[in-house]
Every structure is written in structure tokens, then in C-alpha cells.
Amino acid sequence: MSDGPVADGAWARPVPVPDDVTAPFWAAAREGRLVVQRCGDCGTFQHPPRARCTSCGGDPMFTAVSGDATLVSWTTAHDPVVPGRPRGLPPVVIAVVELVEQPGLWLVSDVDERAELRIGDDMRVAFDATAGDQVLPRFHPAGDSAEGPS
């Protein structure tokens, strides 16, 4: 496991701070599992985690998801303003992906530089980056050979 391509030794990614609501997401990531909240009452998935279901007010529970997604949008950010990141490092491709489980169920990821991306591209999760001692789920174009969980 490495710090991933955007943390090339010149800086460290900001470290996620789990709280009472989000802790299970980060605990699962350490085990190479992607989990997302799903309402026990109405079945709606939601992310980021909240104390109650934002659709019906019910009780959300973390549920394993497939890790398959499609590309919603992306940008190549030059010197993004991120705490701890000095200027002058290579640009970074930031993406929003939609998990296949539900429309609007979106996660953010940086993506390895690649010639061409298109809205709707198939993406797949891998756990190949860290921030401090926290493992980060990251998404890769599904065609790429990513070292994700098999």
C-alpha cells in the first residue's frame, strides 16, 4: 500500500477524522471493504453518512456495496488548494463517481492520469491509498488493472 499517485512524498493527504456517524465507513475501508449507509426503513442509500435517513428519517445501517460505479464528472486541478499541499506538484484528476446501487449515490476520488475520460465510464473501487494511518477507497477506470480487492 502506498500513498498513491497524488501523494508522491512531497506532501501528505489530509487525514480523514472519523466521528460517531462515519466511523464504520473508515473501519471497513481499512479492511478493504466499501460500505455505505442504507436506510433500514425505506431502503434508500445515502452518502456522506448522516445520523438519520435523509429520505424518511429512518435508521441508516452501513451495508457493503459492489464497488462498481460510473463516472459523473471529472476535472484536472492545477495546484488545488488543499491543506498541506505545496504548489508546483503535478496536476491531479478529481472525479465524482456514482455507485451502481443507486442514482445520486456519489463519491469523490482522485483518478490516475489517463488519456480520455467520458461521462458514464465504468469505474471500480480499489483501496490503494492512505492518508496518515487511514486507508482510502479510490476509483479507477474499470478497464485499468487496479490492485483492488478481488
Partner 1 sequence: MTWANRCAVAVVGVGFSAVERRTTTPLGRFADDAAAAAIADAGLTPDAVDGLATYPTPPFEGAAARSGEDMVDVEHFLQAPWARGVRWYSQAGEGMVTTSVRDAVHALAAGACTTALVWRAMYVPPGTYGTHAGTAPGDAAFAAPYCCAGAIPWHALAYRRYLERSGGRREAMAALVVEQRRNANRNPHAVFADRALTEQDYAAARMVADPLCLFDCDVPVTAAIALVLTTADRARDLPRPPVYVAAAAQQTTRREHRLHYTMDDHVDAGEPLVRALCEQAGLGVRDVGSAQLYDGFAPSVLYWLEAAGFCGRGEALDFVQDGRVAVDGELPVNTGGGSLSQGRMHGMGHLAEAVVQLRGDAGERQVADRGAALVLVGSPMLRGGGVLLTADSL
Q: Which residue, 6 or 123, has its beta carbon nearer to partner 1?
A: 6
Q: Contacts for 117-120 with beta carbons within 8 Å, 24 or more apart?
A: 117/71, 117/74, 117/93, 117/141, 118/71, 119/71, 119/72, 119/73, 120/70, 120/71
User: Partners of 96 in the beta sheet?
Assistant: 73, 108
Question: Segment 50-79, which members bind partner 1 (CB under 8 A)?
Answer: 50, 54-55, 72-78
Q: Which stretch binds Zn ion (CB under 5 A): 54-62, 74-82, 116-124, 140-148?
A: 54-62
Is 2 a binding residue for partner 1 by CB under 8 A? The answer is no
Residue 95 CA from chain centroid, whole number? 9
- Member of 17, 42, 51, 56 binding partner 1 (CB under 8 A): 17
- Member of 27, 94, 100, 142 binding partner 1 (CB under 8 A): 94
Question: Segment 35-54, which members bind partner 1 (CB under 8 A)?
Answer: 46-48, 50, 54
